[in-house]
Amino acid sequence: MNNRIIMHIDCNNAFLSWTAVHMLHSGYKIDIRDRFSVIGGKESERKGVVIAKSNLCKERGVVTGETLYSARKKCPYLDVYQPEFKVYKRYSDIMYTYLCSYSKKIERYSIDECFVDFTDNIIKIDNPVKLAYKIKDEIKKNFGFTVNIGVGNNKLLAKMASDFSKPDKVHTLFYSEIKEKMWPLDVKELFMIGKSSNKKLHDLGIKTIGDLANSDQDFLIRHFKSFGKIMWEYANGIDNSEVECDYGNPKSISNSLVFPYDYSKLEQIYKEIKKLSMMTGKKLRDKKMYAPNVMIWVKFHDFTKVSKQITLDTLINSDEDIYQNALTLFNKLWNPDSDKKIRAICVGVSNLTDVYKVQLSLLENQKDEEKNNNIHLEKAINNIKEKYGDASINYADKV
Ligand SMILES: [Mg+2]
């Protein structure tokens, strides 16, 4: 087994905390973390769901994924705030940039979680636990929100550790601590074990992570195929995956078309923009990414070029969303009455993120994918379910 030092930094109750911090910075006098408050969708038609909730709401039994209508029955004075992805992205960037000052080997695992590998750090780490406390306290002091940090010998152990008890805590899970700290836990607490695997394991008499770790590997493979091997390894704290730095992901996608002749008819141009939007949307979905920015550039017959970009409040990945925004931008760039003809067009999206991993997990309790498509977030989840099946949601809840 390789002895690495990995930390998993996980923001506590990210969406609500970040909204609270943002509001305080904007001059709001009340910290919504100390109120009956939730982040949720639109309440009209009893549709919106709870995406994040304050501790007070939690104490009253409000759970993520339940309808706002039902949450309000538990907390009559509930304040509901809309999700604001621009704000989340900003605080996520702040945390990431801060962590970069400690190590270059950082994986942005989701919008509010990072893995950091300190193994070969230039600054010698004598005491990783002490460093973890320093990082945790600095984030709180500098940025106003709290994190949990898990310290372990690999990503799996670090991730498990950060989940132990919350908020504002540092936990370790080194190889030597697996038996004592991880094995007594219910098997559903193990990374990647979703609801269906959990049930199947319990039916097989495997109740704790320790039971799983001490099960026969072949027996597990017979019941779970290749995943059986993986879950056995995880239960034994084995994970050789690397902290993957972010430079692998493209930050933007675009598609351009040079027309066979210079176009000037509106319907003709709209059709091409639609085509480009669909191509862009497909690439984006193939990568399972979302984007808050849509851009377009237009090259005229005289080779002059103009461009425009918009940053949205939400993250999108559907053809229609890209198309509608591209059209709006295009209409600002070109007037059909002008004598300029169009030679080429490019439609693109940028600032890509796979942030929905987290948002999916936040809605893991949500069963009925047909309802609650009143906000983009929920719509996107439905799209994913349609595309990849319900299993994608269960899978994501541990990703
Ligand atoms: Mg978190």
User: Among the options 66, 107, 113, 378, which is catalytic?
Assistant: 113
pLDDT tens for 238-291 read: 998 888 776 545 678 999 888 888 899 999 999 999 999 999 999 998 887 888
- pLDDT number for residue 244: 79
Instruction: Calculate how far, in angstroms, residue 211's C-alpha sits from the geometric centre of ligand 1.
Output: 28
Q: What residues does each domain of the chain span?
A: 6-15+86-175, 183-235, 250-350
Q: How far is CA 358 from CA 58, 334, 336, in A?
A: 19, 39, 43
Q: How far is CA 312 from CA 110, 322, 395, in A?
A: 20, 11, 28
The CATH number of domain 250-350, selected from 1.10.10.60, 3.40.640.10, 3.30.1490.100, 3.60.20.10: 3.30.1490.100
Look up residue 47 and give its two tokens.
């549709």
Phi, psi of 303 (to 5 degrees): 70, 5
Please give the distance, rounded to the nearest whole angstrom, from the Cα atom of residue 362 to the centre of ligand 1: 10
pLDDT number for residue 394: 32
Q: Which fold has domain 6-15+86-175?
A: Alpha-Beta Plaits (3.30.70)
Block means of pLDDT (10 residues each) for the chain, length 399 residues?
A: 88 95 95 95 75 94 91 94 86 90 86 90 79 97 96 96 96 97 97 90 97 96 91 95 70 87 92 95 86 92 88 87 96 87 93 62 40 41 46 31
Query: According to the model, what pLDDT value does residue 46 have?
Result: 64
Q: What is the pLDDT of residue 48?
A: 82
The DSSP 8-state label assigned to residue 292 in this structure reads: E
* CA 167 to ligand 1 center in whole angstroms: 10
* Residue 379 CA, ligand 1 centroid: distance in Å: 22
309 strand-pairing partners? 295
Per-residue tokens: 53: 């909730």
Domains 183-235 and 250-350 share a fold: no
pLDDT score for 14:
93
In this prediction, residue 104 carries a pLDDT of 83
pLDDT of residue 65: 85
Tally of CB atoms within 10 A around 365: 12
C-alpha 361: how far from its chain's center?
Answer: 8
The DSSP output letter for 77 is T
Q: Which CATH class is domain 183-235?
A: mainly alpha
CA-to-CA separations, 375 to 13, 50, 157, 160, 328, in angstroms, rounded: 20, 12, 35, 32, 20
Beta strands in the chain (DSSP E): 6-11, 37-40, 50-53, 79-81, 106-110, 113-117, 147-152, 170-173, 252-263, 291-300, 305-316, 342-350
Q: How far is the CA of 158 from the centre of ligand 1 (A)?
A: 14
**Residue 113 is among the residues annotated as catalytic for this protein:** yes
Tokens of 119: 């193994």
Q: Ligand 1 center to residue 149 CA distance, Å? A: 10
Which residues fall within 8 angstroms of residue 325, CB to CB, at 6 or more apart? 294, 310, 312, 316
How far the first Cα of the chain sits from its last, in Å, is: 23
Strand partners for 53: 38
Q: For residue 395, what pLDDT is reported? A: 28
Number of CB atoms found within 10 A of residue 120's CB = 10
How far is Cα 299 from Cα 334, in angstroms, rounded to an integer?
11
At 122 the pLDDT is: 58
